[in-house]
Amino acid sequence: MRYVFVDEAGNFDFSVKGSQFYVVTAITVTEWQALAMELLSLRMQLAVDGVELGEFFHASEERQAVRDRVFSIIKSSDVVVDAVVLDKKKTLPGIAENHDIFYKLAWKLLFKYISEERLKEEAEIFIAASSIGTKREKTLFRQALQSVALAHSGNKKVATAFWAAGSHPLLQVADYCSWAIQRWKEKDDDRSWVLIEPKVKSCFEPFKDSRMTYY
């Protein structure tokens, strides 16, 4: 079994008010329980130490001291990280105006690579993605996820889930990795990026060389 957990960073606001980049990040593991237990143990220890936390680890809301502890666990784990970074201002208007098409494009670009490089063995695949958006958007995004996953799975058995980020520790790992990549690209702040860089096997920027911008 190959387990893939995916999270996004950025938003669907295609204007100067929105994020510049939309990042979809996947972490792939063959065993998830040990890493999940480490994160749960850290959460318990932080609570014992009197550190105030939200309902789950969420990189954008954490104090740097907490982030450092989580990134330390990720750094010592065996996760493999792959990401697609889309420059939104270089996205064709026809795609930008249809969020489910944009979302499906990001997934297609990501899974085309990881299915060839990470999922070569004849193994079953479990894919969990963070649940985002309105009820309608969740339905569209779930359909996009299932469509892309099946298209790139070959003859492998694929199971997909669309869960709230707080429901699984490894979705929180994906959140941390996605946040680190977006922070690096968006703010030119690589403090967290350098911590996960050894785990990153691909960080694909399909629009990087384009000179055309739309806003």
> What is the value of pTM for the model shown?
0.91
For residue 34, how many other CB atoms are within 10 A of its CB?
Answer: 10
Domain ranges of the chain: 2-204
pLDDT at 180 over 80: yes
The predicted-structure confidence for 30-49, as pLDDT tens digits, reads as follows 999 999 999 999 999 999 99
What percent of the chain stands above pLDDT 90?
A: 70
For residue 82, the model assigns a pLDDT of: 95
pLDDT band at residue 120 using 50, 70 and 90 as cut-offs: low
Query: Which position has the higher pLDDT, 89 or 123?
Result: 89
Q: What is the CATH number of domain 2-204?
A: 3.30.420.10
pLDDT at 141 over 80: no
pLDDT at 149 over 80: no
pLDDT at 121 over 80: no
pLDDT at 131 over 90: no
1-15: average pLDDT: 93
pLDDT at 155 over 70: no
